[in-house]
Amino acid sequence: MPLLENPIGIFDSGVGGLSVLRAMREQMPNESMVYFGDQGHVPYGPRSMEQIQKFSEGITRFLLEQNSKLIVVACNTASAAALKYLRGRFPEVPFVGMEPAVKPAAEITKTGKVGVLATPATFQGALYASVVERFGAGVEFFQHACPGLVSQIEKGELESNATRAILEDALLPMLEKNIDTVVLGCTHYPFVIPLIERIVGAHVRVIDPAPSVARQVKRLLEVSVNLNQTSESQRVRFYTSADPASMKSLLPLLLGTDGEVEAVTWKDDQVTL
Ligand code: DGL
C-alpha cells in the first residue's frame, strides 16, 4: 500500500497539465505532486497513437520511480491515445485521465449547439466518439483543432494577436451556428479562457474540466485511504524534457507561483534524470 506522503504524479505533453495541477492544489493543498511536461515532444496532437503510447509509458515509469501513488494523465491527447494502454501495462497503478466534457455541456446547452476545442488526436480517438455517442444525443457538436494554439501557450502567449487570431478562426464560425457552450478538450486551453470569453461573450459558457478531474482524484485517494491530511510533507516538483528555464519562466504566469524545474532526458524510450 503506497504511503500517503507519496506524491501524485501528473503529466502532459507540456505545460497544459498545469491547469489540472492548479485545480488539484486548490482542492488537495496537503498533497505532494510531481509534474512532468514532455516539452521535448510537444505537441502530441499531430502524433500517432503508438508514439503517444510509448511516450506515456516512459513517463509513467519515471513517475513511478518518483514513488507516485496515483498518476493523472493531465492531457486529453495522451488520455485518448494511451489511457487504456497504460491501465493494461500497469494494472496495479491507479490512473485518472481526461475526457472531453461532452456530458456536462450536453446537460447545460439550451440551443443544443456546442463547440469543442481539442487536438486532432483527441478528435480521432475512440474516447471522443464514445462520449459523444453516450452523452451527446440531440446535441450538435462543432469541432475545431485550433492548429498552433498549444505552441502559443507553450510560449506564454496568452493574449497576443496571433493567439487571438487562432481562437477567432475556431470560434467565430461556431458563434454563427448559435453555440451557447464551449468545451475545452485540451488541458492547455484553460490558460486562454479570458481571451476565449472576450471572443464569445458572456452568454456562452466555457467548460474547464480541471476542477472535476481534481475532485475525482480526491475521491479516489479518499476511498483508498491515501489522501494526505497533514501539511508537513507538501512539495511540488517539476520536470521537463526540454530546457528547464523555459518551463520555470512560465510557472508564475500559469500557476501564480515560482518553482524549481529539473531537466530529464529521453534515451531508448526511457526518461532519465
Ligand atoms: N495538453 C494536451 C491535451 O490536453 C496538449 C496537446 C498537444 O500536445 O498537442 O490534449
Active-site residue, selected from the candidate residues 102, 186, 206, 255:
186
Q: How far apart, in whole angstroms, are the C-alpha atoms of residue 265 and residue 50? A: 20
C-alpha cell at 239: 520536470
Q: How far is the CA of 113 from the centre of ligand 1 (A)?
A: 24
Instruction: State the pLDDT at residue 1.
Output: 54
Q: Find out whether 225 and 196 touch, Cβ atoms under 8 Å.
A: no
Collapsed DSSP state (helix, strand, coil) of residue 78: helix
Collapsed DSSP state (helix, strand, coil) of residue 252: helix
Instruction: State the pLDDT at residue 79.
Output: 96
pLDDT band of residue 61 (cuts 50, 70, 90) is very high
Q: How far is the CA of 232 from the centre of ligand 1 (A)?
A: 33
Atom of ligand 1 nearest to the CA of 16: 1
Q: How far apart, in whole angstroms, are the C-alpha atoms of residue 37 and residue 176? A: 36
Q: Find out whether 207 and 182 touch, Cβ atoms under 8 Å.
A: yes
Q: How far apart, in whole angstroms, are the C-alpha atoms of residue 19 and residue 9? A: 14
Polymer length in residues for the chain: 273
Active-site residue, selected from the candidate residues 4, 15, 42, 75:
75
C-alpha cell at 165: 487570431
pLDDT band of residue 233 (cuts 50, 70, 90) is low
Q: Find out whether 33 and 21 touch, Cβ atoms under 8 Å.
A: yes
Instruction: State the pLDDT at residue 2.
Output: 63
Domains of the chain by start residue, with CATH = 3-98+211-272 (3.40.50.1860), 102-208 (3.40.50.1860)
Q: Mean pLDDT, the chain, as a whole number?
A: 95
Is 75 known to be catalytic? yes
- pLDDT of 39 higher than 60: yes
Ligand 1 in reach of 127 Cβ (< 6 A): no
**β-strand pairing of 270-272 with 265-267:** antiparallel
69-114 tens-digit pLDDT:
999 999 999 999 999 999 999 999 999 999 999 999 999 999 999 9
172-225 tens-digit pLDDT:
999 999 999 999 999 999 999 999 999 999 999 999 999 999 999 999 999 987
